[in-house]
């Protein structure tokens, strides 16, 4: 019998369903409608064909995240919180660079000032960025994992003593 997952439903839904779908949507947008993608993330950047290799690199990174979040983590490592936390840390590194790209285009003051987000595209970009980042940070901090979860290691939290 497979071991139950230690992840609360919020994390499973956000990190194994919603976020991978958002990443797939972003990847398709970057490949098929690159100017539309740029309009959301870096609106001051104009699309030229010479950017296509960069879009391919971005999509390659997202493909790894989608595979891990949509398949490997929920189906292969569903019981191993330590693996989930390690992947969440790696994904946060990617998220940090994604946010940095937005900061480079919008400016730091605008990124951290929601009242300056005047366009629907700005709100969508930030909200769809904040949701998975918040879920990953919550997972790493043990939010919603039970008493003392934040201070326990992932493996120690999950291992059960085998019956002799």
Angle at 127 between CA 121 and CA 133, to 5 degrees: 135
pLDDT along the chain (164 residues), means of 10: 76 94 95 95 95 96 95 92 96 97 97 96 95 96 74 44 43
From the CB of residue 3, how many other CB atoms can be counted at a distance below 10 Å? 11
Cα torsion 44, 45, 47, 48 to 10°: value is 130
- Where b means 16+ CB within 10 Å and e means fewer, 12-43 reads bebbbebbbebbbebbebbeeebeebbbbbeb
pLDDT score recorded for residue 49: 96
pLDDT score recorded for residue 145: 86
Q: What is the pTM of this model?
A: 0.82
DSSP helix/strand/coil, 148: coil
pLDDT score recorded for residue 148: 52
Give me the residue spans of the domains in the chain: 9-144
User: In Å, what is the CA distance from 97 to each residue of 23, 145, 162, 163?
Assistant: 15, 28, 42, 46
pLDDT score recorded for residue 147: 54
163 Rama sector, left if φ>0, alpha if ψ -120 to 50, beta otherwise: beta
């Amino acid at each position: 019998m497979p071991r139950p997952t230690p992840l609360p439903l919020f994390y499973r839904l956000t990190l194994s369903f919603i976020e991978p779908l958002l990443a797939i949507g972003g990847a398709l947008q970057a490949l098929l409608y690159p100017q539309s993608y740029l309009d959301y993330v870096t609106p001051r950047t104009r699309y030229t064909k010479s950017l296509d290799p960069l879009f391919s690199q971005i999509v390659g990174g997202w493909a790894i995240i989608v595979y891990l979040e949509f398949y490997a983590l929920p189906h292969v490592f569903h019981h191993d919180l330590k693996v989930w936390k390690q992947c969440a840390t790696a994904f946060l590194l990617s998220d940090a660079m994604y946010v940095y790209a937005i900061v480079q285009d919008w400016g730091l003051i605008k990124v951290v000032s929601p009242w300056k987000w005047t366009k629907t595209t700005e709100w969508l970009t930030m909200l769809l960025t904040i949701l998975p980042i918040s879920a990953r940070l919550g997972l790493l901090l043990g939010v919603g994992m039970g008493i003392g979860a934040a201070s326990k290691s992932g493996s120690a939290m999950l291992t059960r003593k085998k019956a002799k």
